[in-house]
Amino acid sequence: MILQPKHFEKFICIGAACKYNCCQGWRIRIDVETYAKYRNLIDFAQEWQDKINLDNKSIKLKESNQECSFLGQDKLCEIYKKLGPDNMPEICKQFPRYYRIFGDKWTQSLDLACIPAIKLLLTSVAPIEFVYSDKEEKPNVYWIRLKWEDSKVKKFHNQLNEICIKMIQDRTYSLEERLLWVANFLEYVDQNEENTFDLMDEVVVDDSEDFIAGKTNLKMAIYSEIVDDMLKVCGQKNKDIIFKDYEEKLKYFKMEILENKDHKPKKLFYNLIKNSKTFVNYKKNKSYNHIIENYIAYKMFVQDFPVGAAMTTDELRMLLFKLDIINLNILVLSFYNKSLDIEEVIVEAIYFFERIVMGAKISTIMYPSWNRWFKNNSLFATIKFMTN
């Protein structure tokens, strides 16, 4: 039985209408079976050979814009048009769907480097649900086996995962309280050797620190370093239209906000908030929190949270890092286009994080800057700062 998000089967690729088409910037490997078919079907005509890298059996990208060489001017796939959907490389048929096996648990989900997938899975007000697929058959292609890490909690991973998702979806608490609740729970898990864990029945909020005062300058300095890190990567890949687009938004944010001498450093963060109605709406109008909640629950589901690192609280720290970069993206996008609808902003903020930061594996470059925050703040202070 395969566990999947409830709306998984409803996903439809919008093809030529897609704003950030996935047929660019990525190496597209051709699986062995499909490669053999191409040789038989078309006798490997010169035109096709020119578009395929024979050494590593992948499709070449166009030099000018890093698009797949089989993507036509009409933004439609030439392989699809000439040979039909069954003869596309497996990875093209599957994306953004992917399958995972972890222990004895099979899951299938959608990669969030696809805007329609984000909209389908995360934007409905109802909490995201995970259900078993009706199909008994397990996929025999393109799945990822996550290695069992040497973690003391690995034998409870299903139980811990369900508890964490339940906590994050309990709307009787604010999002901040729910994250604090998960932090309380994971600290308990890390400190105790038990054979079973139950849902904690109360949230312990540590109010002992002055969470905001004096921290905004550090936060903005860290954001500034992260923006520089991202700009470096985008600069190297600026033939790719997605990186180019993101780079333009980051440059605007850096020039207009981070380097604007009119903003007194001490009040920088508050000035930022004052200058974008979209961002104020996002911060004040918590009615958009369901998208962030659904994102957290979904990431917990796809990553078997909190299993991975030896300490479960380290996994929470990684999750907070992701949320904070999405926060930064929300800030960047709301300044770039002040009239954009906040839901669009959040969706694009998630997209750019998943496609660029996670997709290009640049999180490792940015994480050390971000981790500096932790040297000065506790897990609880971080959650408080991020959610206020």
Cβ proximity of 282 and 234 under 8 Å: no
- Measured from the CB atom, is 355 or 384 closer to ligand SF4? 355
User: Reduced to 3 states, what is the DSSP secondary structure of residue 52?
Assistant: strand
Q: Which of 3, 7, 18, 170 touches ligand SF4 (CB under 6 A)? A: 18
Min dist CB 114 to ligand SF4, Å, is 3
- Measured from the CB atom, is 26 or 279 closer to ligand SF4? 26
Q: Which of 13, 42, 200, 220 touches ligand SF4 (CB under 6 A)? A: 13
Site for ligand SF4 in 88-127 (CB under 6 A): 95-96, 114, 116
Dihedral (Cα; 76, 78, 84, 89), 10-degree rounding: -100
Min dist CB 31 to ligand SF4, Å, is 18
Tokens of 280: 């104020």
Which residue, 19, 248, 245, is CA-closest to 115? 19
- Measured from the CB atom, is 231 or 241 closer to ligand SF4? 241
Q: Rounded distance, CA 10 to CA 95, Å?
A: 14
Q: Note whether 382 binds ligand SF4 by CB under 6 A.
A: no
Q: Note whether 83 binds ligand SF4 by CB under 6 A.
A: no
Q: Which of 4, 8, 22, 359 touches ligand SF4 (CB under 6 A)? A: 22
Cβ proximity of 329 and 366 under 8 Å: no
- Measured from the CB atom, is 13 or 309 closer to ligand SF4? 13
Candidate segments 18-26, 144-152, 174-182, 325-333, binder of ligand SF4 by CB under 6 A? 18-26
Which residue, 116, 157, 121, is CA-closest to 4? 121
Q: Rounded distance, CA 192 to CA 190, Å?
A: 6
Tokens of 296: 């957290």
Residue labelled with tokens 């994480």: 367
* CB atoms inside a 10 Å sphere around CB 84: 9
Candidate segments 11-19, 130-138, 226-234, 317-325, binder of ligand SF4 by CB under 6 A? 11-19
The contact set with ligand SF4 (CB under 6 A) reads: 13-15, 18, 21-22, 95-96, 114, 116
